[in-house]
Chains A and B, each alone.
Chain A
Amino acid sequence: MTAEVYVSGFGVFSAFGFGPEALFDGVFSGTPAFRAVTRFDVSHCRTGQAATYPGADGEPGLATADVAVACGQQAIAMAGPRDPAGLAVVLATKLRAPSTEPELPAEITERVADRLGLGRPRRTFVNACCAATNAIVHGAQLVRTGVTDAVLAGGAFLVDRQAFALFDSAQALAADGQLRPFDQDRQGVLLGDGGAMLMLESGESLRARGARPLARLAGWAMTDDAFHVAKPHAQGAGVAAAVTRALHRSGIGPDRLAYVNAHATGTPLNDAAEAAGLHTALGRHTEQVFVSGTKSTTGHALEASGALEAVITLLAMRSSTLPPTAALRRPDTRHPLRHVSAPERAEVPYALSLNSSVGGLNAAIVLAAA
């Protein structure tokens, strides 16, 4: 049994606040959400900037589970009436040391599911920056293979001292306090709070309850570079393979792709590899496909970034507006892309969201207008 997979609702959180309106106003105007971090001491770090939500700074503060629950509630409300007990859940979250987070990572998912009254299966992905895209892919597989007819899939992340210090130690943070994907002067990444849950649902389920989809999840693929523990393949071999396979599953060629939301971390190696991989996968169509890196406004939400960016991609399709790459002044010329440097109007019948992570992992999803 195979089923088509649709997105019927979503909930989202970022440094701009809760809900799609706050996200749209910030990301689609190209306004970076970075500010001085007050959540913990950053005085010895390369930068003191991150895209943190002020409402999450207090004590005891907003927790990852709260973000996931809030996003799940938004998604359920948007999708329309149905029994939450019939929903599976797949959550991407961060691994933490037991001394800082006594709860098992999968117990966070259980707690989120219990608070929302969700059913099973309940799964937890922790594969770094591809975790949320993996959660969406897994949710799609659950629906497509008939294990469930609807699932909440996404991730949640709040910037914390551990993640900040580890990125700082690797000299991965942008010392200039700007996240400038694909810019010749890019200096690195900045972290950001983020979360999103997408309701993925079979066409049969939608028809049965008379609901309309927001988009179709047309394709997906995950690959590995098989190249290096920490560095991306210089020519983006794994990126190219993920994009090619996701387009193939979608039944379209690169000529029909209008927009790519790139992983685009603003680090010299990653952006170069991703651009090279996009060239390989899209070929001569590369010059027609719009590309933007929205971490330039939201920051990098690590395990949750794939879900946050899937929602941004969905908003681009629904609004026929492309979000820009903020602070892009001197685009890298080695693998030129059709950058969105200012908000742009465009019809988006098909769009792709792409993520990569340590270990050479790559994950791509293709959304189609419903």
Chain B
Amino acid sequence: MTTQQASELVTSAVVHAGLQLPQLPGFMASDFAPLVYAAVRECVGDARPGHLLEGVGDRTGLVLGSRRFDTTSLELSVEHVNRGRVSPILFYQVLPTAVLGQIARDYRLTGPVSCVAVTGDARAEVLELARLTLADRDAEWVLALTVELAPDPARAFATADLVRSPPGPGRREEP
């Protein structure tokens, strides 16, 4: 079942892990957060004046989907607990909301933020959630993100799709 509300795909991006993946300060344990951040940057531009979401941050939501989320940090936290010394940094790094908080801060996005776990097609699921968010008028723009780590780090990837409400009388002026 899907919502009937239409949405408009503005732009998309896919990034892969590897040597070209920029590091993300504060998130050193895993490629998870750097992948998500890089996908957003590839999709809407660097977090400085002129990015695609400038001026609409109060009307922009974030949805992140994945099958397992950050298994690297989660497994590292298990190792730490087993040996009796846990790095306090892992307290937030194991949570997928942490990198979304960094993205929200850097891009000044104050709309709704969701993380959804899936068994199947994460991209289809986050796009459906984005449509529902738009239909409910919780936001006018949604960054629909997915991320999957992999045993072979080179196969890890993240996607970003920027969608928005279709033009209509209910929508405010664009920036």
State the A residues within 8 Å of B (CB). Answer: 44, 88, 93, 95-100, 104-107, 109-110, 120-121, 123-128, 130-131, 134, 137-138, 141-142, 144-148, 161-162, 165-172, 221-230, 237-238, 241, 357-361
Contacts and interface: CB of A to CB of B under 8 A. Distances in A.
Nearest to B100: A359
A222 to B, nearest CB: 3
B95 A225 contact: no
The contact size tier of chain B is: 35 or more
B90 A169 contact: yes
A187 B98 CA distance: 23
A79 to B, nearest CB: 20
Interface of B: 1-5, 26, 57, 61-62, 67-71, 74-75, 77-78, 80-81, 84, 86-88, 90-92, 94-102, 104-105, 107-119, 125, 129, 132-133, 135-136, 138
A228 B77 contact: no
B132 A145 contact: yes
A129 to B, nearest CB: 9
B101 A166 contact: no
A147 B132 CA distance: 9
Given A147-B2, A229-B92, A97 B78 contact: yes
Given A147-B1, A172-B91, A357-B97, A225 B104 contact: yes
A142 B94 contact: no
Given A168-B86, A222-B114, A142 B132 contact: yes
A100 B96 CA distance: 18
Contact of B81 (A120, A165, A222, A358): A165
A358 B117 contact: no
A127 B114 contact: yes
Given A125-B115, A127-B115, A230-B101, A97 B77 contact: yes
Given A126-B116, A358-B98, A98 B75 contact: yes
B91 A167 contact: yes
8 contacts: A95-B69, A104-B117, A106-B67, A126-B115, A138-B129, A230-B92, A358-B97, A361-B101
A127 B113 contact: yes
A144 B78 contact: no
A226 B97 contact: no
Contacts of A121: 1
A169 B133 CA distance: 36
B116 A169 contact: no
Contacts of A128: 95-97, 115
Contacts of A142: 132
A1 B3 CA distance: 10
The residue in B1, B71, B91, B94 that gathers the most chain A C-beta atoms within 10 A of its C-beta is B91
Contact of A224 (B26, B98, B101): B101
A221 B112 CA distance: 7
Given A106-B117, A145-B135, A358 B101 contact: yes
B26 A229 contact: yes
A145 B3 contact: yes
Contacts of B111: 222-224
A188 to B, nearest CB: 12
B78 A162 contact: yes
B101 A162 contact: no
Given A225-B104, A226-B108, A226-B109, 7 more contacts: A106-B118, A141-B135, A145-B132, A226-B104, A226-B105, A227-B101, A359-B95
Nearest to A363: B112
A123 B63 CA distance: 13
Contacts of A172: 91
B65 to A, nearest CB: 10
Given A98-B68, A98-B75, A238-B110, A222 B138 contact: yes
A96 B74 contact: yes
A126 B109 contact: no
Contact of A95 (B74, B105, B113, B119): B74
Contacts of A125: 114-117
B30 to A, nearest CB: 12
A104 B91 contact: no
Contacts of A162: 77-78, 81
Q: Give the top 5 A-B pairs by smallest Cβ distance, nearest first.
A: A359-B101, A359-B97, A222-B112, A169-B86, A170-B91
Contacts of A130: 97, 113
The residue in B5, B62, B74, B107 that gathers the most chain A C-beta atoms within 10 A of its C-beta is B74
B110 A144 contact: no
Nearest to B133: A141
A225 B104 CA distance: 8
The residue in B87, B98, B116 that gathers the most chain A C-beta atoms within 10 A of its C-beta is B116
B11 to A, nearest CB: 21
A241 B78 CA distance: 36
B84 to A, nearest CB: 6
A93 B69 CA distance: 13
Contacts of A167: 91
